[in-house]
Each structure stands twice: as C-alpha cells, then as structure tokens.
Amino acid sequence: MLGEICLYTFIIIILTGVWLTLFFKPSMGEVIYEGQYLPLRGIQMSEAYRSTVNISFDIRGGLLMRQIHHWSAIVFVAAMLVHMMRVFFTGAFRKPREINWLFGAGLLILGMFDGFMGYSLPDDLLSGTGIRFMEGAILAVPIVGTYLMFFLFGSQFPGVDIVPRLFTVHVLLIPGIMLGLLVAHLILVFYHKHTQFSGPGRTEQNVVGMPLMPVYMAKAGGFFFLVFGVVAVMSAIATVNPIWLYGPYRPDQVTTDAQPDWYMGFSEGLIRIMPGWEIGLWGHTLNLGVFVPLMIFPMVLVAVWGYPFVEAWITGDRGEHHIADRPRNAPVRTAFGAAWVGLYLLLLAGGGNDLLATHFELSINTITNVVRVGFFVVPVVVFVITKRWCLGLQRRDKEKVLHGRETGVINRLQHGEFVEVHAPLPQERLYTLTSHAQPQPIELPAEVDENGVARKAGLFTRLRAQLSRGFYGQGSQIAKPTAEEHEEITSGHSHH
C-alpha cells in the first residue's frame, strides 16, 4: 500500500505540475504588481513571484492546483520514507532486491531535492531564505565553494539566473531521472514479486495473494482515486506555503519563524546545533560550523545505499530472500533503524529550536545544548531500548509456543494452588512464530591449520567475526523452542 501511495502521489505531482507550468513564468525580471491581491499592489517583485500570486488569485482553480501540487509532494516524500522504513525493518532489501533498494533510496533523495527546488521557485521571502541557506552551505565547501556558487547563481547572490535554472532542473531533469528510476523499480518489483510474511503455504519459491488481473488492478484503480481525493481534501482545508503573506524576496530581509518543509528540517537542525567553529589556514577561513554538517549528509546517503551489502558481508548471507522478517526477529537491524529515526526526529526538532523556544517559553540556548547532547546520546539509548524490546517480544513468542495463549480462566488445584489455563496455539500461528531462520555468527578460523602451521586472521576477518557476533551472537537473539521442548510441554508434564 505504501508503494502505491508513492506512485499515485507522483502521478498527481506530474499532472498538477504540467498545469502549473502553463502559467508560471520562471523569470527574475522586476515588475510592479497590479493584480487582485490588494496588500501587494504597487510593490516591486520578480515575474516569478507575480505569476505565482496570479495563479493563486487570478486563475480559476489555480490556488487549489498549487495546494494539491505541494501537498502531493509532502505526502510523496512521507510515503517514500515510511516505505523505505518498512523495507528496512522487514529485511526486504536483501538479495535479490539490493538494486531495488538503491533505486528506492535514490528516488527518496531526488524527491527531497526536487521538493526543495519546487518551493524555492516562487521567489517569495521564505523561499529566498532557503536559497540563501543553500548558498551559505555551498560557500562553506573548501577551495571550490566560491566557484560552485558562481556556477549555480551566475553572479553574486541573488543574481538573475537562479530561478530559471532551478525551474529547468525541477521540471525537466530531476523528474525525468525519477521517472526512469520509477519504471526500473516497477519492472524489478514485477520480476521479483512482492515479499510476504511467513505463514502456512508461503515459501521462498511462491507468492500467495490475489491475481494481478482483474482483482489487483481494480483495487489499485480505486485506491488511486482515494489517494487523489484525500490529497484534494487536505489541499482544500489546510493551506500550505501561503506565499502572498510572505511578500517578494529581498536579500536584506528574512521571514519570521522561517522553516523548510519537514523533510529538509533535519539539515537545518544539523546547521543550528553545530558550534560556529572556524579555522584559518594560509589566509583562508575554513567554516567548520557549516562544512561539517554539510559532509554528514553525503555520509548518511552512502550508509543508506551501502547497508544491504554491509549486512550481507557481516552475516555471510548470500541466499535469496522472499520471506520478510518480523522486525523483532532481527533485533540489531531493528535497533539500528530505530536509532536513525530517533536521530532524524531530534534533528527535526533542532531545526525548529526558535519555534520551540517561543511557543513553550524556553531558552533557545538550552534547547540547542540539549539537542547537541542528544545527538550523541539519543541514538545509543534508542538502540539499547529497541534491542531489548525486540528480545522481550521474542521471549514472549517463545512462551506462547511452549505454553499457549492465556485464556483468563483461573483453576484452583487440590492442594490450593491457583493456575491460569493456557490454550494451545493453532498450527498456523505456531508455524508463523517458529519458521524464521536463526543464523549462527561467523567464527574465526582455527589458529593452527591441519598441518600445524599457525594461521593468523586478518584485520577484516576479525572485524567481520566480531560484527557477526554482534548481529547473531549471544544476547542478540533468543533461541527458538525446539520440537522436543514443545513436545515435553504439551505431553502433560506441565500443570498448564
């Protein structure tokens, strides 16, 4: 369902984007506004801003189309993120779907950047503040930062070329790349089929579900109109990006409480919590306060793209997987994902530290310092809690398999003891709780080979074995109940 929401919102974005392109003028030429919105009459502004205001107030249905386009982009990125999280937590990225994971991650990143460019096009005061933020980040790149800035803007900020260039990239380049990735993604999904959770009759060689035609296609068509309707209702009742309230962009002004769309909030959080460190080298200033957060972003991208291959290397798992994991049965992976989500939400809060300070009457410095400490503490705490939670759920599953489910019926035995009656689980449920694989950690080779010659393990071999013990060793998974244990419990040796 999440993948379908991504696909349908992307289609809505394309349809509304084509309509908006017919009326938007990607020009920074200065004009005087003489339209219907009285508070802006007589004010000098760019043609891009004037055309956006005209779309909102002078063109029938224009404001609704703008709102649908923007809300679709927000829902698209949100659905993509949740979809990627579902794939990660269930292990659906494993062989043979590593390439599809790369495509999905690429679509998510491109969607975020295209969304940023999209709400930067109107040339209002809020979008101009975001572009100024981007310019500062580019200038922080050592040696080539100034060249990159002039290449992008064509002159000193703000110049007259940034909006036309963003328009070309936003409308042609990135959507074209995304469309190609989306088609490739769907082809691989059709070829590999969807993953499925373990259950009776479900194996690594089959797929249990409804046929594509006509059942799935009929449901998919109805779901598209449902998604379109929900987005349209959201757009009609909840205003997003009211550019007429911000006014045209001026480099000497900034919008009060300026915030980006939620999916770019973490980047602002990184910048805001980083101390303003600077280093002077040979007459040049290295702005670490911006450059370090800027470098964290590509590092995160590399980690996201490379995780399937790293996990396969650590665990030594080279087999194909079409049965999805329950997150509790992969505690370390689930804990890593939860730690990342916790860090993301923390940085999102850090990006809005000024709003938190004003709305809750707190000190902005206190909030910033708390987020700085949390940057190192929160992922560790979330990792530990999530791992223990998963292990606790595994123990509960084992208890259910051995003793059955609680019925709420209390019996009193002849010697006065009270016991609760447990009902055995059905075979289907037993299969679901016990069919998952439990790999063993990779062991280091023997220190001496069969000829008595000392064998020294390399650094990467020792590292791999250590990480493998962290994934599958003692304390990282609860052993499944054996058939003998289940037979002993259910044969009458237990008072339950």
How many C-beta neighbours within 10 Å does residue 303 have?
Answer: 12
| Continuous segment of H or E residues that includes residue 148 | helix 145-153
Backbone angles phi, psi at 269, to 5 degrees: -60, -40
Residue 176 lies in a domain: yes
**Contacts for 267 with CB less than 8 Å, ≥ 6 apart:** 260, 293, 297, 351
Residue 285 lies in a domain: no
* 357-404 per-position pLDDT tens digit: 988 999 999 999 999 999 999 999 999 999 999 999 999 988 888 888
Res 295: pLDDT:
87
Res 211: pLDDT:
74
Q: How many domains does the chain have?
A: 2
Q: What is the DSSP letter of 169?
A: I
Is residue 442 within 8 Å of 471, Cβ to Cβ? no
Residue 316 lies in a domain: no
Cα 60 to Cα 53: distance, rounded to the nearest angstrom: 12
Strand 418-423 relative to strand 284-287, pairing: unpaired
- Closest residue by Cα to residue 432 from 209, 210, 201, 206: 201
Residue 36 lies in a domain: yes
Residue 30 lies in a domain: yes
Cα 477 to Cα 482: distance, rounded to the nearest angstrom: 15
At 408 the three-state DSSP class reads strand
Domain that holds residue 483: 404-493
Res 444: pLDDT:
73
Cα 77 to Cα 172: distance, rounded to the nearest angstrom: 19
The domain that contains 249 carries what CATH number?
1.20.810.10
The gap from C-alpha 283 to its chain's centroid, in whole angstroms, comes to 41
**Contacts for 230 with CB less than 8 Å, ≥ 6 apart:** none
Res 452: pLDDT:
64
Own/partner contacts of 102-108, CB < 8 Å, gap of 24 or more, are: 102/305, 103/181, 103/184, 103/185, 103/188, 104/80, 104/185, 105/301, 105/304, 105/305, 106/181, 107/6, 107/80, 107/178, 107/181, 107/182, 107/185, 108/77, 108/80, 108/81, 108/84
What pTM did the predictor assign? 0.89
Residue 320 lies in a domain: no
Peptide bond into 308 cis (omega under 30): no
Where the chain has pLDDT below 70, the residues are 256, 446-455, 457, 486, 489-496
